[in-house]
């Protein structure tokens, strides 16, 4: 293994994190917080920067990377960033337990939004800012970000981007990967800025606008009030955030196509049609059920619009406790949790394209069984889906189910309620955030044992990186020395 | 479509059912039941036989069958048999509602064992006998039975057996299919007879021994007491039934191999190793957890042995209400519900071979991702698993999940409890019987609306026939006339 190159990239990444850790210092100074707050971020920035410097002291001789190393870099960097990013919370006392702080930071970077905090309003502004800022960094991928600012690691970095950008296929936008990364990040940041402005116009305070824009952009879902978005009680804010979440759940390549005036290609995306179709269909069905129970028609539309967009994009903002909704609506939301956003978006879950291809294939199998002599080919995005791709997607699904069941069994040992256990794994593995039962919008992950908090943190990272990198990291064979 | 041949086979099958309906008449006379009981079975036998005669009046000119017709014959025959088999219950008043009686009979033939009866002890002996006898008929497949007694439909019947015998692969035992069917049925009936004798020796009354042997042989699970097997409170009976269920969850081809002295081949079956490994592992884990909560070590072993064998073989007999077990044990049982028995057995579920192949493939995919240049081949039963087979299995899984979610969403409209809804679909689709929550061992399916009772009946038949035949039946394209 090219250990020098692995260490070098990890070191560079820690140096970048050290710089980013200085931003909350500014926030802390603006709001004149007690000295321990700016200090905690400065100390951790220094430590992280120094560790990073140690890693990069030896310039790697060979710069090329193989797939295996790509996986290892990606998984180690997410674990390291979460670890160092957790330290300020421990130092300033906002989250005294290191395990809890690690869970919270991993939840931030992976844009999960699951929290161990029972009362988020006790946090200082600088802590709140950093907590939500990790969503912004993690959304597009921490290594994509590194590629955007560090063009010199371009060779072999295709493996890194492949391992970090979600979805079954990965297309370079332009020929140089670092250019692709930069374009992606520019689109991403411009959109975030627009949302901040719109939220301000809708009457949200400045600080709150930043926090919620970060949460929507990364489809993360960390807020700053105990009732998430509910306390603002503003249709305008819910509309802006709902639409924003839908936008950040769309494949970013489509925005690049639009920016380069390839409108037709962008709007003909089959995945986009599935994505929007599922969203509209679910909103209609849930609105209908809610309006027959607890809500008026308009009230049902408002709450179902916000919940559906928040859940399918795996953001996890909430305005209404869907724990109390009738069962059909709850199961539909649970299904959306697994579908997730589009490939190449900041959303988690299985991704719409995977689900669409799987469903189309399953029904083609039905046709093939009925007429064994007919040739049946599945098309997606106007291209035939070849056997190799199908196999990869099907295997992903199987690995997904296997790991899901294993984690569910482990955490169930200390739980007593099926709904809580099942939705805790769904919410972390799909990077959603709040689940149902005890981990619902009004609950938290605080009651889990430290062991299970670490397990669920790894589950979040595994979900964000689409399983393989973390499994490779833990495969004993990978670390064995070869003759 | 060869409609004449379809009608002919269906007619022959109804004639066979008419003959079988005469057996409960004998039971009714032995126990000197009120006249409406023998009469109800005689009348229905006559009606069924006459309808069957109408269907067979026209001798088909062309005897060959295509896959499509195989699917249609199989699905129609299970629906028709359940319908006519339900009529005696309605006539003699033991289950006055036709919908309820259809559910109960479909549950019998499909060897599900789910019941709409809140008090099974109110049933007459003839009704109890017929209810459990449907397990015995359905276990090996109603059409396999027809092939065993009707050798003249041999041509094209490979499609019928393929559609009815569970599992991803289908191997003829001997060259003539009708001979295969006969051998299978002889092994099956001999085993059932042995269990009856063993239960008698363990002190079970005669009638009860027949009922429980039928339930174990078909891995169906209908009993005759409200507490299922619990009221007998006998370790010997539980041991016999537990071992019997394990035996009937094994691929019957293995018994044929043993009978023809191919011991080595039989015991080297990889699927058998997975099957027994999962059973032993689950019993150990559940015993450990139970012994730390409500049970003694031996008591835990007794209850976990019976529940694990009953659930993985999808029988559904119960001695203890596992609703009250700690969560880990419940989730493990839920997982076993989906695994099911071995291919070619009377058990339901996804089948052990499918699960094993899927898990092996998923982990090979991990290896392939880590070392892209290495050739990785998955072997099962010492043969390489080819891409085509994998695709068929993966597509089955996807279709399975799609249909599962759809049915879950539909029945959830009238329910309020997730556990009940989820396990009701699991228990019927996997042909287990009792689920958890309201449909647990101490509950029943009585409270569902007629619409959902019919939906769940179709779900049971879909589960028993492994989806395709029923989907083909409901595909509009299949019935369209071609130029």
Look at chain B and count its residues.
Answer: 483
- Paired tokens of A56: 């990069």
pLDDT band (50, 70, 90) for residue B227:
confident
User: Between B146 and A59, where is the model more confident?
Assistant: A59
Residue B317 CB-density burial (10 A; 0-12 exposed, 13-18 middle, 19+ buried): buried
ipTM over 0.90: no
pLDDT at B172: 56
Residue in the structure block whose two tokens are 């101490």: B442
Quick check: A398 and B396 CB within 8 A? no
Residue A476 CB-density burial (10 A; 0-12 exposed, 13-18 middle, 19+ buried): exposed
Instruction: Count Cα atoms within 13 angstroms, Cβ side, for A358.
Output: 27
Q: What is the pLDDT of residues B444-466, one digit of tens each?
A: 999 999 999 999 999 999 999 88
pLDDT at B288: 95
Q: Cα A69 to the chain's mean position, in Å? A: 22
Residue A1, pLDDT > 80, answer no
pLDDT at B3: 83
Q: What percent of chain B has pLDDT over 90?
A: 56
Q: What is the pLDDT of residues A374-408, one digit of tens each?
A: 777 888 888 888 777 777 788 888 888 889 999 99
A348-352, A367-371, B34-38, B268-272, range with the lowest pLDDT:
A367-371
For residues B164-186, average pLDDT: 69
pLDDT at B381: 83
Task: Confirm or reject contact between B365 and chain A (CB < 8 A).
Answer: yes
Residue in the structure block whose two tokens are 């149902």: A436
Quick check: B330 and A398 CB within 8 A? no
* A391 chain-B contacts, CB cut-off 8 A: 365, 387, 390-391, 394
Q: What is the pLDDT of residues B359-379, one digit of tens each?
A: 888 778 777 766 767 777 888
Task: Confirm or reject contact between A363 and chain B (CB < 8 A).
Answer: yes
pLDDT at A380: 86
Task: Confirm or reject contact between B158 and chain A (CB < 8 A).
Answer: no
pLDDT at A243: 97
Residue B133, pLDDT > 80, answer yes
Q: What is the pLDDT of residues B176-194, one digit of tens each?
A: 667 777 888 888 999 999 9
pLDDT at A482: 46
A51-60, A69-78, B405-414, B471-480, range with the lowest pLDDT:
B471-480
Q: By C-alpha distance, which of A42, A261, A231, A74 is closest to A156?
A: A74
Give the DSSP letter string of A92-131: HTSS--HHHHHHHHHHHHTT------S-GGGS-HHHHHHH
pLDDT at B155: 56
Whether the full predicted model's pTM is greater than 0.80, yes or no, is yes
pLDDT band (50, 70, 90) for residue B479:
low
Q: What is the pLDDT of residues B382-416, one digit of tens each?
A: 888 877 777 778 888 888 888 999 999 999 999 98
pLDDT, mean over chain A? 88
Tell me which chain A residue has its CA closest to the CA of residue B371.
Answer: A68
Give the DSSP letter string of B102-155: HHHHHHHHTT------S-GGGS-HHHHHHHHHHHHHHHH-HHHHHHHH-GGG-T
pLDDT at A479: 64
* A326 chain-B contacts, CB cut-off 8 A: 416
User: Closest to B335 (Cβ–Cβ): which among A366, A405, A419?
Assistant: A405
For residues A120-131, average pLDDT: 96
pLDDT at A134: 96
Residue in the structure block whose two tokens are 């493996």: A159
pLDDT at B476: 67
pLDDT at B406: 93
Give the DSSP letter string of A55-81: HHSS--S-----HHHHHHHHHHHHHHH
The CA-CA-CA angle for residues B398, B400, B404, to 5°, reads: 120
Angle between helices B387-412 and A327-339 (to 10 degrees): 150
pLDDT band (50, 70, 90) for residue A189:
very high
Q: What is the pLDDT of residues A31-67, one digit of tens each?
A: 999 999 999 999 999 999 999 999 988 888 777 777 7
* A294 chain-B contacts, CB cut-off 8 A: none
pLDDT at A171: 56
Question: Beta partners for A383?
Answer: A380
pLDDT at A213: 97
Strands A383-384 and B383-384, bridge-based pairing: unpaired
Residue B154, pLDDT > 60, answer no
Q: What percent of chain A has pLDDT over 70?
A: 91
* B377 chain-A contacts, CB cut-off 8 A: none
A267-271, A335-339, A433-437, B351-355, range with the lowest pLDDT:
A433-437
pLDDT at B126: 97
pLDDT at B380: 86
Q: By C-alpha distance, which of B134, B176, B131, B122 is closest to B154?
A: B176
């Amino acid at each position: 293994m090219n250990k020098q190159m692995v260490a070098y990239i990890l070191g560079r990444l820690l140096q970048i994190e050290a710089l980013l850790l200085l931003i909350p210092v500014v926030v802390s100074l603006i709001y004149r917080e007690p000295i321990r707050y700016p200090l905690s971020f400065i100390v951790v920035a220094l430590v992280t920067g120094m560790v990073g410097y140690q890693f990069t002291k030896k310039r790697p001789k060979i710069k090329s990377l193989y797939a295996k190393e790509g996986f290892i870099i990606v998984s180690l960097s997410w674990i390291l960033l979460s670890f160092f990013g957790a330290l300020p919370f421990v130092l300033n006392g906002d989250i005294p337990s290191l395990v809890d702080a690690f869970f919270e930071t991993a939840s931030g970077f992976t844009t999960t939004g699951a929290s161990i905090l029972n009362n988020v309003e006790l946090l200082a502004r600088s802590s709140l800012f950093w907590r939500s800022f990790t969503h912004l960094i993690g959304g597009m991928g921490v290594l994509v970000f590194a590629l955007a600012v560090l063009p010199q690691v371009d060779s072999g970095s295709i493996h890194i981007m492949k391992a970090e950008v979600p979805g079954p296929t990965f297309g370079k936008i332009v020929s140089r990967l670092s250019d692709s990364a930069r374009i992606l990040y520019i689109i991403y940041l411009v959109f975030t800025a627009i949302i901040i402005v719109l939220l301000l116009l809708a009457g949200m305070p400045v600080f709150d606008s930043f926090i919620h824009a970060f949460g929507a952009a990364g489809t993360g879902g960390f807020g700053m009030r105990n009732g998430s978005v509910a306390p603002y009680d503003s249709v305008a804010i819910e509309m802006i955030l709902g639409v924003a979440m839908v936008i950040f759940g769309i494949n970013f390549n489509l925005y690049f196509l639009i920016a380069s005036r390839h409108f037709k290609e962008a709007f003909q995306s089959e995945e986009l049609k599935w994505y929007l179709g599922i969203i509209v269909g679910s909103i209609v069905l849930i609105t209908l059920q809610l309006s027959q129970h607890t809500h008026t028609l308009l009230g049902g539309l408002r709450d179902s619009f916000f919940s559906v967009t928040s859940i399918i994009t795996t953001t996890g903002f909430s305005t209404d406790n869907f724990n109390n909704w009738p069962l059909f609506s709850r199961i539909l939301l649970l299904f959306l949790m697994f579908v997730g956003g589009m490939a190449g978006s900041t959303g988690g879950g299985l991704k719409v394209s995977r689900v669409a291809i799987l469903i189309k294939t399953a029904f083609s199998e039905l046709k093939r069984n009925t007429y064994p002599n007919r040739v049946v080919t599945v098309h997606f995005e106007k291209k035939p889906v070849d056997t190799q791709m199908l196999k990869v997607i099907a295997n992903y699904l199987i690995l997904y189910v296997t790991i899901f069941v294993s984690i569910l069994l482990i955490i169930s040992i200390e739980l007593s309620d099926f709904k809580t256990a099942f939705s805790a794994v769904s919410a972390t593995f799909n990077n959603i955030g709040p689940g149902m039962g005890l981990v619902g919008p009004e609950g938290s992950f605080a009651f889990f044992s430290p062991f299970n908090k670490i397990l669920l943190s790894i589950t979040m990272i595994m979900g964000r990186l689409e399983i393989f990198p973390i499994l490779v990291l833990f495969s004993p064979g990978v670390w064995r020395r070869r003759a």
